[in-house]
Chains A and B, each alone.
Chain A
Amino acid sequence: MLSFDNVSFAYGQHLVLKNISLQINKGEFLAIVGPNGSGKSNLSKLANGLIQPHLGKVLVDGVITQMPKSLREIRRLVGLIFQNPEDQFITTTVFDEVIFGLENIGVDPDKMKSIAEDALKKVEMLSYKGLEPHKLSGGQKQRVAIAAILAMKPKYIVFDESTAMLDPEGRQNIITLMQQLHTEGITIIHITHHMEEVLVATRVLVLKDGLIVADGTPASIFNNNIESNELEVPLALKLKQRLRSTGIKVPEQVMTLEGVVDYLWTSS
């Protein structure tokens, strides 16, 4: 479990996170949304000890992130994928990139090759393993970043607006990968501005001015809090609501465009 206990974080006098308490359970797919400057990214950096809270504490599986000795293990457990694919590619080739993390956590060198190749296979980048970063697309680089994290066998992966700089195809690839990893038991935390991406989550958190203003399932968030939180409603939900207002009873649990279309085709 990833837990934030009364966490506050500030840049100078400016309070970015205000007394946040939050529990993220194993196996959840949590989406975090909110306007720029709402503190989303700071939440992700707090989760693996890149920054430390000024008040309160952050615990990863019961271990506090303020302990310098436990930082390596915490960073192995909580993988972090950033926004810019170019700036998180540290080494000169795809294969070396996956190896880098394994070296850092002290994996036996004889086992590295097979671990790295398994991870690259999972994100379908194994055939690119000898390539340099400038020969890859943004989406491919992002997949390599995911492989580099997966090789370290994390329990949680935080995607900090990792889809923001990708083309639609690249973005869809990453979302599909997230869903696949979630079904394999990894806890996913996805920070995003794209409301359609939120619909695949099991839980949504809305952050505003450093406070949690809403916390619930995608359906409950979009049905109840839309106006008050100025969230843009995904097309599928808008369509569903319009249909419902005209008397076509699309069920509440339908969350995707495909779902609405399926309902319209199959209902009599």
Chain B
Amino acid sequence: MIENVLIGQFIDASSIFHRLDPRSKLISLFCIIIAFLLIDNISGYILASLLVVGCITLSQIPLRFFLKGLKPILIILAFTVFYHILFTKGENLLFQYSILSIYKESIIEGFSIVLRIFLLVLITSLLTLTTKPLDLAHGFEILCKPLKRLRFPVEQFSLMLAITLRFIPTIVMELDKIIEAQKARGVNFEDKSFVKKVLSYIPIIIPLLFTSIQRAENLANAIDARAYGDGSGRTRYKVLHFENRDYQVIGISLLVVGVFFLLRMVGG
């Protein structure tokens, strides 16, 4: 079971996106999301699609990893299309049957929203596929530093995130052990009936919860014992550096926002 656990979605390669500072990737992603939300005509969609395809090619990561990210939202996408086709009103009536009427505009709108979500998910996957979770957390921590003024515990939050990632394999191993132990006591996990299946998970969840809480207490002691205080006077080993390429990428992202803004003005 432990072999199947992938921490985060990071796929190693040596593309430009892998080498970028996590902060510049986060800022750029933010810009691109704004740019994509500005799209309101066909030329915008074509340009955005070209941009996404270009980025995916540059990332050197096989397309299937990107498509994996789309799987869980397929139902939502399908629902969005149907909703728009059935309920949005337009001028050009295509089809009518009793109370059901479908317009040309509603079909276009349904599909363009889906395309927009599609593009947003793909570009976000680009970030998570090319950045290690811990680097992402570190970048996030530095970008969120201003929030410290508002007493938001930025560093503690980042440590919490790191610990969560660290303990995934531990908890999975624990789960394996508990399942084996309960099997040895005669718990049946192979029952087909839904209710019994759900009930059979209770003897797994309760011990897992119990040991996890115990672990949390031990871990808290270990963190305190190693002089982790309130964060004051703490130094960091990893220092993130902005290179030229980071400034370039942020510059390009800002340019993209500008272009999409112009397209909206002109096309609208």
A residues whose Cβ falls under 8 Å from a Cβ of B: 45, 48, 50, 71-72, 75-76, 79-80, 82, 84, 86-92, 99-109, 112-113, 132-134, 148-149, 152
Contact = CB atoms under 8 A, between A and B. Distances in A.
Interface of B: 2, 7, 134, 162-163, 165-166, 169-170, 173, 215, 218-219, 221-229, 233-237, 239
Contact of A133 (B166, B215, B228): B166
B240 to A, nearest CB: 12
B226 A75 contact: yes
Contact of A106 (B7, B215, B221, B235): B235
A116 B235 CA distance: 15
| Majority-rule SS of B interface residues | helix
A90 B165 contact: no
Contacts of B166: 89-92, 133
A90 B223 contact: yes
Contacts of A132: 169
B234 A133 contact: no
Contacts, number: 85
B227 A134 contact: no
A109 B163 CA distance: 22
A82 B221 contact: yes
Contact of A134 (B2, B218, B222): B2
Given A88-B218, A88-B219, A92-B162, A104 B234 contact: yes
Nearest to B173: A134
| Majority-rule SS of A interface residues | helix
Contacts of B163: 90
A92 B233 CA distance: 23
A90 B222 contact: yes
Given A91-B162, A99-B237, A112-B237, A105 B227 contact: yes
18 contacts: A45-B221, A50-B224, A71-B227, A75-B225, A84-B218, A90-B219, A91-B162, A92-B162, A92-B165, A104-B226, A107-B235, A109-B236, A112-B237, A133-B166, A134-B2, A134-B169, A134-B170, A134-B173
Contact of B235 (A79, A86, A91, A103): A103
Contacts of B173: 134
Contacts of B234: 103-104, 106
A99 B228 CA distance: 12
B52 to A, nearest CB: 31
